[in-house]
Structure 1
């Protein structure tokens, strides 16, 4: 998501608004006696991390399909070789000027057991993308989910 030129308070409001929209209607896992989160029989508790990668480059241009595929192959896939989902999206936000800025985006959905190793891998993925494509931010959404394979 390209947010260059947005004051930090407006940027924080934008991120909060996006997060509330993304989480609207999401429930939490049911609690078992003692307050622990529990999944039904045959399900496991996993984390679902969705990463939102804007493809507009602040200095101009777009992250190309070839650049995206190279990033995915070299950075994301080795960190989550068990699998992931990539979704094409169209993102938008309101700039300081009041104009709506639209950009092509990629969402990467990762389902994994919660671990410090996976948290560090996600932080690395976000950091590499931000540095390589001069992005101010990559939105990360996390939710506990019940899964069955």
Structure 2
């Protein structure tokens, strides 16, 4: 057998890679970025949503209004769990002004299926409509998780 033949080397490399991929997928899930999660981890999607409390008319979303939105809109769509943190952020609005505002940051881990992605979009649209917001920031990343 001639191991210096480029076609042979490519074929051997392809077989090795396929074999390694098979090993990785049988012992741990493959993360969408291509690297393997640790054994026992699940490949998941993490959506982080940033809900600013400043209103365009100068008012603010009150704490009671936020809690009501969380209880009525977000929690029913994600009853298995989520994380909520208070934050202070800043951003440039449509008029070019820098705004600083109190915000709520909601993190949801999920499988990334179309139904769940749709629920994320529904939450964002509901907040923009209810509180007359220009935007809700969504940050989506692939991650590995263990519960």
Match of 2:86 in 1: 88
Alpha-carbon shift at residue 94 of structure 1 (Å): 4.0
Match of 2:21 in 1: 33
Deviations 1:50-79 (A, max 9, x none): 001010010121000000000000000000
Higher helix proportion (structure 1 or 2)? 2
Work out which of the two has the higher radius of gyration on C-alpha atoms and give 1 or 2: 2
- The 1:80–1:132 alpha-carbon spacing in structure 2 relative to 1, beyond 3 Å, is same
Q: 1:134 aligns with which of 125, 128, 132?
A: 132
Match of 2:52 in 1: 54
- The 1:98–1:60 alpha-carbon spacing in structure 2 relative to 1, beyond 3 Å, is closer
Match of 2:71 in 1: 73
Looking at structure 1, the residues matched to 67 and 136 of structure 2 have their Cα atoms a distance apart, in angstroms, of 17
Report the TM-score when normalising by structure 1: 0.73
Report the TM-score when normalising by structure 2: 0.74
Match of 2:142 in 1: 144
RMSD: 2.0
- The 1:116–1:103 alpha-carbon spacing in structure 2 relative to 1, beyond 3 Å, is same
Looking at structure 2, the residues matched to 65 and 124 of structure 1 have their Cα atoms a distance apart, in angstroms, of 21
For CA contacts below 8 A with separation 6 or more, give which structure has more relative contact order: 1
Looking at structure 2, the residues matched to 141 and 129 of structure 1 have their Cα atoms a distance apart, in angstroms, of 16
Structure 2 gaps of 5+ residues are 1-19, 23-29
